[in-house]
Amino acid sequence: MIKDGIELIKSIAEVKRMAGKLEDYKMLIKLNEDIISLQQENSQLRRIVGELESRVAEKNEAEYHNGQSFITFKNDEQTVKFCAECWANEEKRKPLVELPSGYYKCNHCNNGQFIKC
Ligand SMILES: [Zn+2]
């Protein structure tokens, strides 16, 4: 649809150029450039909105447990335990490592705290 509009404007611009109306021609060429620029900006904004929607959806999937010491995700059938601190600080899923003692530990932030899950 917009592509058709751009082609139509190009055709009209060419008619104006042939008729010696160079100001009209330049104005129409500038209009086409503006349309293309707005299309590119629109695509970029749509991509950003999509990314933000994904992040919001992911945040809504997170569930905190045991006094916010670890999180799981509602859509995760394996219910992997992730570090709540890494999630809160960086929005990154860092799986906790189970220690022989039964406690868990985050190898990413490695804050020395052992987590009881
Ligand atoms: Zn961590």
Ligand 1 centroid, distance to 96 Cα (angstroms): 8
Residue 80, pLDDT score: 94
Ligand 1 centroid, distance to 94 Cα (angstroms): 6
Ligand 1 centroid, distance to 67 Cα (angstroms): 15
Residue 29, pLDDT score: 97
Q: pLDDT of 8-33, one tens digit each?
A: 999 999 999 999 999 999 999 999 99
Residue 111, pLDDT score: 59
C-alpha distance from residue 112 to each of 56, 88, 107 (Å): 30, 17, 9
Residue 113, pLDDT score: 66
Q: What is the mean pLDDT of residues 79-92?
A: 91
The pTM of this model reads 0.64
Closest to 88 in 3D by CA, of 117, 107, 109, 104? 109
